[in-house]
Copies of this chain bind each other. A is one copy, B any other.
Amino acid sequence: MKRYIHLLLFILLMSSPLLLSAQVVDQEVHHVVFQVTKGEVADQNKAIAQLNNILKALPNAEIEVVCHSGALPMVLKEKSQVLEGIVKLQSRGVVFAACENTMRRAKASKEDLVDGAITVPSGLAEIIIKQEQGWAYIKAGN
């Protein structure tokens, strides 16, 4: 009887992948430069959710999140709405990078950034150079 239930479960799972939680697509190393330009609470939550989805599918992806323009608040200690999400992603190797051009306009200093975040002289230049090095480009959000 137990055997039949196992068999049934197996068939059910195989035929209905949507009943499962998010699937691993592969374990290879992937390189992704992830651009965030918007900073409303919904945008911040969306970015974190998208990053988690990438890591569920591609657990060994190396991801750099470039926050520039309207997205700076996401990586500012005092303003970020997703601190916990950032810390969790950092613990999995995700790098958060703030654009120094944007920081200068916002009068933000390195001390204002969430712990572990790095800065890049220009967010757009960073995205260009990463693509030239073979990294895939994703523009976040809707």
Q: How far is the CB of A112 from chain B (nearest CB, A)?
A: 10
Whether A128 contacts B121 in the complex (CB less than 8 A), given A18-B103, A100-B18, A109-B18, comes out as: no
Q: Is the CB–CB distance between A104 and B32 below 8 Å?
A: no
Q: Is the CB–CB distance between B30 and A132 below 8 Å?
A: yes
Q: Which residues of B contact A128 (CB under 8 A)?
A: 30, 32, 54, 58, 61, 136, 138
Q: How many copies does the complex hold?
A: 3
Whether A110 contacts B18 in the complex (CB less than 8 A), given A101-B53, A128-B32, A132-B136, comes out as: yes
Interface residues in A96-115 (C-beta closer than 8 Å to B): 100-101, 103-104, 108-110
Q: Please report the C-alpha to C-alpha distance between residue A132 and residue B54 in the assembled complex, in whole angstroms.
A: 15
Chain B CB within 8 A of A5 CB: no
Interface residues in A37-75 (C-beta closer than 8 Å to B): 37-38, 46, 50, 53-54, 56-58, 61, 69-70
Interface residues of A (CB under 8 A from B): 16-18, 22-26, 30, 32, 37-38, 46, 50, 53-54, 56-58, 61, 69-70, 100-101, 103-104, 108-110, 119, 121-122, 124-125, 127-129, 131-132, 134, 136-139, 141-142
Q: Please report the C-alpha to C-alpha distance between residue A110 and residue B17 in the assembled complex, in whole angstroms.
A: 10
Q: How far is the CB of A85 from chain B (nearest CB, A)?
A: 16
Q: Is the CB–CB distance between A142 and B18 below 8 Å?
A: no
Q: How far is the CB of A101 from chain B (nearest CB, A)?
A: 5
